[in-house]
Amino acid sequence: MDMLTAKIEFGFDQLTARSGGVLDGPSHVAMGRRAAAAIGYALGSEEEARMIEAYLNVWRLMHLPHLPAGSRGLTRDEFVRSNLALADGSPADREAILGALADTFFCLADVDGDGRVNREEFWAFQHGHFPELTRAVLAEAFDHLDTDRDGYLSRQQFTSSIVEYWTSRDPDAPGNWWLGRPAYMSAATGSATSARAGAGPSAGPGVGEPVDRANVRDRRSHSTPLDAPVTS
């Protein structure tokens, strides 16, 4: 399996870890709710409603038009196929679709609106999408995405990381680390080459370290009814 397919599959599995392996409307509501809770917005608040609405819009604009007739959600195969088509399609299409989505996501992630995403904002945003990823994994991701190491993801770093994660076959693209250590680096398929892949910083800032600027309202993560793991 090529590295891009491995990234897409891993991403889909993380994205749907709590929605039974299907990407659909309700799973987007859950993402918005989790992201809002991670930021510290109160349950039932206007801010939470706006966040959920933004995620529903992503569903409506990005995925709904591509659903097979009669289907209510995207399966892994469908998701991988449409993502590969986007990756191998024209750069203009990629920019129009994924670039625009990445821009929307940047606005959602930059909670304090200072034009950059700090470590805590990154965690809160990613937690909405990928609730199974730990703080340690996301801290390692942040370290690789923050290529100039200033403690923030610029709009450019943030959006290009999204585009790279979902479409790039460049093994050196920083965006491969969007969800932490890339799956293909530790996967069995790459066992022969994985030894030389671990060139990143060995001990970056870890779990217990205080966040440099915790601009997100607080660190509480309210659990929500939809936040419970869906066991299959």
Q: Please, which residue, 24 or 110, has the CB nearer to Ca ion?
A: 110
For 184, the token pair is: 């293909």
**Which position among 110, 120, 146, 164 is part of the footprint of Ca ion (CB under 5 A)?**
110
The DSSP letter of residue 170 is: -
CB 121 within 8 A of CB 108: no
| Window 26 to 45, contacts with Ca ion (CB under 5 A) | none
**Which position among 81, 112, 147, 226 is part of the footprint of Ca ion (CB under 5 A)?**
112
CB 86 within 8 A of CB 66: no
**Residue 181 CB, nearest approach to Ca ion (Å):** 25
**Residue 120 CB, nearest approach to Ca ion (Å):** 9
Q: How far is Cα 81 from Cα 86, in angstroms, rounded to an integer?
A: 9
Q: Please, which residue, 2 or 114, has the CB nearer to Ca ion?
A: 114
- Strands in the chain per DSSP E: 23-24, 73-74, 116-118, 152-154
The interface region with Ca ion, picked from 73-81, 91-99, 112-120, 202-210 by CB under 5 A, is 112-120
Number of residues in contact with Ca ion, rule: CB under 5 A?
Answer: 3
- Is 114 among the residues that bind Ca ion (CB under 5 A)? yes
- Is 213 among the residues that bind Ca ion (CB under 5 A)? no
Q: Please, which residue, 107 or 230, has the CB nearer to Ca ion?
A: 107
**Residue 35 CB, nearest approach to Ca ion (Å):** 14
Q: Please, which residue, 79 or 106, has the CB nearer to Ca ion?
A: 106
The interface region with Ca ion, picked from 114-122, 154-162, 180-188, 203-211 by CB under 5 A, is 114-122
Q: How far is Cα 93 from Cα 46, in angstroms, rounded to an integer?
A: 34
Identify the three-state secondary structure at position 103: helix
Residues 6+ apart with CB under 8 A from 2: 169
Residues 6+ apart with CB under 8 A from 187: 6, 194
Q: Please, which residue, 61 or 107, has the CB nearer to Ca ion?
A: 107
**Residue 114 CB, nearest approach to Ca ion (Å):** 4
Question: How many Cβ atoms are within 10 Å of 133's Cβ, its own excluded?
Answer: 17
Please report, as ranges, the residues that interact with Ca ion according to CB under 5 A: 110, 112, 114
